[in-house]
Amino acid sequence: MAAHLGAHEVMEVHEVLTDTVDGINQFQLYRPHVKDPQLKSILDKQIQFMSQEYNNMVQGINQRGISKAVPYRGPRNVTPVYGLDNPTSQSPNTSINDMDDRDVASGMLRCHKASAGLRMRASLE
């Protein structure tokens, strides 16, 4: 890898790969706390997608070619509900046992948003 990339590029690749591994690990930590079957299915598909993404990046770096990328397709049988319902104020959980589906869904969303920002910055470098 170092023969074809400069030091800065190697550091960016390292950051993106580390972010991917951290995201997979974070989602695996969430799994025991999920109760809703649809959220559990989404979580499992995301773990599978991120694992494949990691493998594709590693293969690309090793110049063995990237296997066919499979885009993530979420369920299409869901009708979104728009608007605000005067959400209540939030406070941190007092115990890991208090974690619920809302916490997991919010954590998953934040993980993907942060990852998208990191990857965008890396691609611009």
> What does the pLDDT look like over 8-54, one tens digit per residue?
788 888 899 999 999 999 999 999 999 999 999 999 999 999 999 99
pLDDT category, 70, cuts 50, 70, 90?
Answer: low
**100 torsion bin: left (phi>0), alpha (psi -120 to 50), beta (else):** beta
CB atoms within 10 A of CB 10: 14
CB atoms within 10 A of CB 113: 10
Distances (CA, A) of 123 to 16, 21, 74, 75, 116: 10, 18, 25, 29, 10
pLDDT of residue 4: 67
Give the span between the Cα atoms of 47 and 76, in whole angstroms: 19
pTM for this model (two decimals): 0.76
> What does the pLDDT look like over 112-123, one tens digit per residue?
999 999 999 988
